[in-house]
Amino acid sequence: NMPTLDADDNVVNGLVKLCQEIHQSVAHMTQKYREEMSRYNYVTPTSYLELLNIFSKIFGRKKDELVLAKKRTKTGLDKLLATEKDVAKLRVELNEMLPLLDQAVRETNETMAKIAEDTSNTEVIKTKVASEEEQVLKKVQETRAIASEASDRLAEALPALEAALQSLEVLSKNDINEVRALQRPPPGVKLTMEAVCILKQVEPLKVPVPGKPGKKEDDYWEPGRGLLGDAGKFLQSLRDFDKENIPEIVIQKLQKHIDSPDFDPIKIEKTSKACKSLCMWSRAMHSFYMINKEVAPRKEALANAEAELAIVKEVLATKKRELKKLEEGLRTLQVKYEDAVRKKNEYETKVDECNQRIIRAERLTTGLGDEKVRWQENVAMLDHSLENVIGDVLVSSGFVAYLGPFTAEYRDNMVKEWITKLTAYQVPHTEHPELVRVLGDAVKIRNWQLAGLPKDNLSVQNGVIVQYSNRWPLFIDPQGQANKWIKNMEKNTGLDVMKLSDRDYLRTLENSIRFGKPCLLENVGIDMDPALEPVLLRQTYRQSGSTVIKLGDAVIPYHDDFRFYITTKLPNPHYSPEISVKVTLVNFTLSPSGLEDQMLARVVAEERPDLEEMKNTLIISNATMRNELKALEDTILEKLSTSENPVDDIELITALEASKAKSTEIKTKMQAAEQTEKDIDMTRAEYVPVAVNTQILFFCVSDLANVDPMYQYSLEWFTNIFLTSIQSAPRADVLEKRIKNINEYFTFSLYCNVCRSLFEKHKLLFAFLLTVRILMNQKKIQMNINIMT
């Protein structure tokens, strides 16, 4: 299951050689460790396989983790940088759009002004048109009145005219010929024919007047008979007679006939039926003329009115055409105005959107300005880590696979040797591929320390080893530090604690395995119960679709969340190779720096409980705030990297600003807390001489086991003497004096308590050891050899 290394052959060959070198160097260091420290460790082929397995697991995981982290950070950074570029582009767009907007505003205003002007002109024309229409209406009414009056007056003559024409229709040619045939016409006939001839303007004959010699009179009979020559034509001429244009002189001549009582159709009918009709016709013509003459002024007035009406209508039509043209112009202007307004609104919208986008982009870039620098540094760091991940992971894998049983000094020496080999074999690696830096998680480590993990580098390394090892850890824990840490770390997950001496410990272990709970097996000795072997070797298999394991005689479900921890209080256990290959031995023996830190906390808690309480509160508070800060920073990066268009994502910007504000608030609080912690540490530092002296004395006592294995002293016992000494040491107003009193009292008290358990021959040795270590710490003597080995 070795992942793809993406490395050239030289690097791969170097890795192969380096794995061999690591295995061999650990074997060599194990021998040296046994000779110098009397501690046993075994390097077996299984250890080499463990190295390969751990490298395979960690390399793929670490590389994916770095690639993902880089991708996410790079994506967020690229979007932030793109946003900065967008601001410049948006400003260019804005500068290009502003003149267009100004032009659109000008065009809109100009068009609006033109519309206002033309609307005013149109209103004037509309007023004039309305006035002209009113005049036309008035003229029309006047003309209609004149026409109606003339028509009504003419209508009075129409009945007689129609009656005359109707009577003509009933005349036949024979009726006319009969009149024509008269040789001596009766007076009525003669009078009628005279009237007809006068109307038709037929000249009479001049004939002598009987009884009056020398005088002549008009005779219309013969000319009249001539008219009657063609009866049909004659009748038609009467029907077609131009009654509208009868000369006045004709009417004057006719007047005497009209006035004559004998010129009466009824009377004339007695002499001639035909002449009756002709009489009616003649009288109708006279009547029409007289009425028409009366109506003539009205007709003239009507003609004048119609002429004036035509003029007014033409003026009105002209005005209407002008109005129509103006209205069409207005409509064109309105369309132009609407188009200008649309353009103006579009530009205003675009300008507003552009401004808003610039504001949002600036909010984004300004708010994440410091994040940009950090992300750029992170990307560069991740690039560097990716380039060197293969060497770093190999060293870390070797650390996890081999270095758990060793003390800090031996671990450091081996890592330095491996780094030298990395360079020699040209395997890429960072300058200091230290386990905690390569595989450690700062947030997780802080949580471990809050749970009681000592803060020294050795203890943190142990925590990382436990996290990445493929085998369950067996802690060499004479001071109970690992025990305390595991119990605190797993207290919220239902930790089961058991001992091999418990009657039903296998039942407890079974429940832990079945339900996925952590389990702590404490205080084991040199030997292990064989029943634990399937658990230690993780001998799980599939049965009926489930993962199971055999524990004793029972086959039980195996929960993937199950975790197993083992601790021993033996300070220097000698486990057989068979046990060593089944577990990961982790040397949790307290280091000087770890003990010094604990003793400092103890003495400050006794002397200045207020300071120590504040210190502990600040540690928890700072850890919580750092966790929150890390979560917020991850949230900011996650939101930014997953957003398609950050500039337009208002919800994103608002959320980022809120996260950034919260982040800034936390940073401010952290700065204040860190300053307070520094102030507290300055005060606590005054008690460091007590802590240093205490850890020196503890390791003097611990080293007595090298004189005789019977001499075993617990940290708890040692701490109780220390606390009693603090309470019993003489008080002093000056802190330096108080510290001196505590150190002297505790040194003597410890010496007395230890001497009670020593053989007489060892008491002087112990006194000498205490003296030498104290003087060495005070730089008064130097020792180049370990006097206890």
Distances (CA, A) of 631 to 182, 582, 638, 662, 710: 144, 37, 10, 11, 51
DSSP 8-state secondary structure symbol assigned to residue 787: T
Residue of 295, 343, 412, 265 whose CA lies nearest to 108: 343
Distances (CA, A) of 412 to 165, 182, 392, 589: 151, 174, 15, 16
At 590, is the secondary structure helix, strand, or coil? coil
Averaged pLDDT score across all residues of the chain: 86
Residues facing residue 212 across a β-bridge: 209
Using an 8 Å Cβ cutoff, are 185 and 221 in contact?
A: yes
Give residue 721's pLDDT.
95
Q: Is the pLDDT of residue 157 over 50?
A: yes
Residue 540 main-chain phi, psi, to 5 deg = -90, 160
Percentage of the chain surpassing pLDDT 90?
A: 37
**Pick from 1-15, 484-498, 687-701: least confident:** 1-15
Q: Alpha-carbon distance 438 to 399, whole Å?
A: 11
Q: Alpha-carbon distance 349 to 355, whole Å?
A: 10
Q: C-alpha angle with apex 8: 5 to 14, nearest 5 degrees?
A: 85
Mean pLDDT for the stretch of residues 418-435: 90
Give residue 23's pLDDT.
95
Report residue 164's pLDDT band, with 50, 70 and 90 as the boundaries: low
Report pTM. 0.68
Residue 489 tokens read as: 């770390």
Report residue 534's pLDDT band, with 50, 70 and 90 as the boundaries: very high
Tell me the pLDDT tens digit for each residue of 594-614. 889 889 988 988 988 887 788
Give residue 515's pLDDT.
95
Amino acid occupying residue 698? F
Mean pLDDT for the stretch of residues 94-115: 82
Helix H or strand E encompassing 437: helix 435-439
Contacts for 411 with CB less than 8 Å, ≥ 6 apart: 399, 403, 458, 461
Residue of 39, 46, 219 whose CA lies nearest to 583: 46
Using an 8 Å Cβ cutoff, are 286 and 254 in contact?
A: yes
DSSP 8-state secondary structure symbol assigned to residue 33: H
Give residue 696's pLDDT.
94
Q: Alpha-carbon distance 137 to 129, whole Å?
A: 12
Mean pLDDT for the stretch of residues 619-625: 78
What is the number of other CB atoms lying within 10 angstroms of the CB of residue 544? Answer: 5
CATH number of 686-789: 1.10.8.1220
Using an 8 Å Cβ cutoff, are 354 and 90 in contact?
A: yes
DSSP 8-state secondary structure symbol assigned to residue 546: E
Tell me the pLDDT tens digit for each residue of 665-674. 888 887 887 8
Residue of 396, 442, 391 whose CA lies nearest to 421: 391
Tell me the pLDDT tens digit for each residue of 685-741. 899 999 999 999 999 998 898 888 889 888 889 999 999 999 999 999 999 999 999
Residue 580, Cα to own-chain centre: how many angstroms?
Answer: 57
Q: Alpha-carbon distance 16 to 10, whole Å?
A: 10
What is the number of other CB atoms lying within 10 angstroms of the CB of residue 496? Answer: 17
Q: Alpha-carbon distance 586 to 668, whole Å?
A: 39
What is the number of other CB atoms lying within 10 angstroms of the CB of residue 212? Answer: 9
Give residue 55's pLDDT.
92
**Pick from 257-271, 492-506, 666-680: least confident:** 666-680
Residue 766 tokens read as: 């112990």
Residue 786 main-chain phi, psi, to 5 deg = -90, 110
Q: C-alpha angle with apex 417: 413 to 421, nearest 5 degrees?
A: 170
Q: What is the DSSP string of 737-782?
A: HHHHHHHHHHHHHHHHHHHTTS-HHHHHHHHHHHHHHHHHHTTS--
- Which part of the chain has CATH 1.10.8.1220? 686-789
Residue 648 tokens read as: 């337009």
At 41, is the secondary structure helix, strand, or coil? coil
Give residue 29's pLDDT.
95
Residue 503 tokens read as: 């009657």
For helices 45-170 and 457-468, the axis angle rounded to 10 degrees is 70
Give residue 789's pLDDT.
47
Q: Alpha-carbon distance 287 to 291, whole Å?
A: 6
Using an 8 Å Cβ cutoff, are 406 and 668 in contact?
A: no
Its sign, for the CA torsion 736, 737, 740, 745, is negative
Q: Is the pLDDT of residue 555 over 90?
A: yes
Q: Is the pLDDT of residue 574 over 60?
A: yes
Give residue 669's pLDDT.
82
Residue 779's Cβ-side half-sphere holds a number of Cα atoms within 13 Å equal to 0
Higher pLDDT, 558 or 88: 558
Report residue 571's pLDDT band, with 50, 70 and 90 as the boundaries: confident
**Pick from 235-249, 303-317, 388-402, 526-540: least confident:** 303-317
Contacts for 233 with CB less than 8 Å, ≥ 6 apart: none
What is the number of other CB atoms lying within 10 angstroms of the CB of residue 705? Answer: 17
Give residue 169's pLDDT.
74
Tell me the pLDDT tens digit for each residue of 200-218. 888 888 888 777 787 888 8
Give residue 345's pLDDT.
86
Give residue 273's pLDDT.
82
Mean pLDDT for the stretch of residues 543-562: 93
- Which part of the chain has CATH 1.20.920.60? 158-296
Q: What is the DSSP string of 266-306?
A: HHHHTT-HHHHHHHHHHHHHHHHHHHHHHHHHHHHHHHHHH
Helix H or strand E encompassing 518: strand 518-521
- Most trustworthy range by pLDDT among 149-158, 321-330, 511-520: 511-520
| CATH number, domain 158-296, options 3.40.630.30, 1.20.920.60, 1.10.1060.10, 3.40.50.300 | 1.20.920.60
Give residue 150's pLDDT.
65
Q: Alpha-carbon distance 238 to 168, whole Å?
A: 8
Tokens 């308590």 locate to 753
Q: Which residues in 149-181 are b (16+ Cβ under 10 Å) and which e?
A: ebeeebeebeebbebbbebbeebeeebbebbbe
**Pick from 259-263, 503-507, 549-553, 624-628: least confident:** 624-628
Using an 8 Å Cβ cutoff, are 450 and 620 in contact?
A: yes
Using an 8 Å Cβ cutoff, are 540 and 558 in contact?
A: yes
